[in-house]
Amino acid sequence: MKMLNLFIVSDSIGETGELVAKAAVSQFRPGLQHTKFKRFTHIDSLDHIKEITELAKEQGAIILYTLVQTKMRQALVEYCNLYNLESVDLIGPVINLFEKELNEKPFEEPGLVRKLDEDYFKKIEAIEFAVKYDDGRDPRGLLQADIILIGVSRTSKTPLSQYLANKRFKVANVPLVPEVEPPEQLFQVDPAKCVGLVITPEKLNSIRKERLKAIGLNDDASYAKIERINEEILHFEKIAKKIGCKVIDVTNRAVEETANLVINHIQQK
């Protein structure tokens, strides 16, 4: 069986080119036997192109390439013609078609799709992190978080955590209750990463009453009483002062507005 020698040339990591090459080879050799794949990645100079084509000439290789810059593709074609090499442009024809269809010039910036993928997975990771470390579920997450939110119940810690997660921040939040000691990890983190959320007793009283009604309970429970709320807020202020963290009043703020304040604080620090 004849040996197939393939050079995958890319201005990024060459993953796309290799996947296409393997998909095609598998139609002839399902186990990819008697086939050599060699990736040449992050190719960004004409000298690289010349060296690769010279090596391909020596080894009798076929070149498959994903180069987004026109000058690089043209140089590769010229050298392949010079050395009588077989080559396949895997992305150029598509870029040319889209340029004609959209009447726009391509960015010709290598690795853009990789950046999009990385951004997407970072977002998913942050969302999963926010769910895992929501409501003080596992205090170990505090040491790994980009942002830590603290506050009494019903100060929008969870929706704010999810909103920030969609902005690629890993967020953990901790509810503060007078009867429960805060986790020790809360006092080990950088105070600049911690943000306290506070709300006026009157507003919190209204929110908690509505919450109790929504779950079918009487709205005069201790949870919604002003005396209890004041006690919780005093406890919150004591903990926030001990940590030395920034405190944001969320009384009349939408989640988006609070999130912007949190992000600005984190970026400044």
pLDDT digits (tens, 9 = 90+) for 187-224: 999 999 999 999 999 999 999 999 999 999 888 899 99
Same domain, 89 and 129: no
pLDDT for position 131: 97
With a CB cutoff of 8 Å and minimum separation 6, the contacts of 268 are none
pLDDT for position 119: 87
Same domain, 39 and 122: no
Same domain, 130 and 238: yes
Q: Which residues participate in the annotated binding site?
A: 151-158
Calculate Rg over the CA atoms of the chain.
29
Phi, psi at residue 99, to the nearest 5°?
-60, -40
Same domain, 169 and 239: yes
* Residue 243 half-sphere exposure toward CB, CA atoms < 13 A: 29
Counting the structural domains of the chain, the total is: 2
Same domain, 169 and 241: yes
pLDDT for position 118: 85
Same domain, 52 and 180: no
Same domain, 23 and 92: yes
pLDDT in tens, 29-63: 999 999 999 999 999 999 999 999 999 999 999 99
CATH number for position 137: 3.40.50
Q: Are 266 and 192 in contact (CB under 8 A)?
A: yes
Q: Name beta bridge partners: 9.
A: 40, 65
With a CB cutoff of 8 Å and minimum separation 6, the contacts of 197 are 149, 150, 151, 155, 156, 157, 160, 247, 248, 250, 258
Please name the helix (run of DSSP H) or strand (run of DSSP E) that holds residue 150, with its range, or none. Answer: strand 147-151
Q: Mean pLDDT of all residues in the chain?
A: 96
Same domain, 155 and 257: yes
Q: Are 246 and 195 in contact (CB under 8 A)?
A: yes
Among 110, 133, 152, residue at a domain's last position: 110
With a CB cutoff of 8 Å and minimum separation 6, the contacts of 169 are 126, 146, 147, 263, 266
Nearest-CA neighbor of 6 among 48, 62, 66, 57?
Answer: 62
Two structure tokens written together for 66: 């994903």
Q: Which residues participate in the annotated binding site for ADP?
A: 151-158
Model confidence, pTM:
0.66
Same domain, 91 and 163: no
Q: Are 13 and 20 in contact (CB under 8 A)?
A: no
Among 110, 132, 161, residue at a domain's last position: 110
Digitized pLDDT (tens) for each residue of the chain, 269 residues in all:
899 999 999 999 999 999 999 999 999 999 999 999 999 999 999 999 999 999 999 999 999 999 999 999 999 999 999 999 999 999 999 999 999 999 999 999 998 988 888 888 999 999 999 999 999 999 999 999 999 999 999 999 999 999 999 999 999 999 999 999 999 999 999 999 999 999 999 999 999 999 999 999 888 899 999 999 999 999 999 999 999 999 999 999 999 999 999 999 999 97
Phi, psi at residue 196, to the nearest 5°?
-95, 140
Same domain, 154 and 83: no
Among 110, 127, 142, residue at a domain's last position: 110
Name the residue range of residue 212's domain.
118-268
Same domain, 54 and 158: no
Same domain, 93 and 122: no
With a CB cutoff of 8 Å and minimum separation 6, the contacts of 18 are 8, 37, 39
Cα gap 116→212, rounded to integer Å: 43
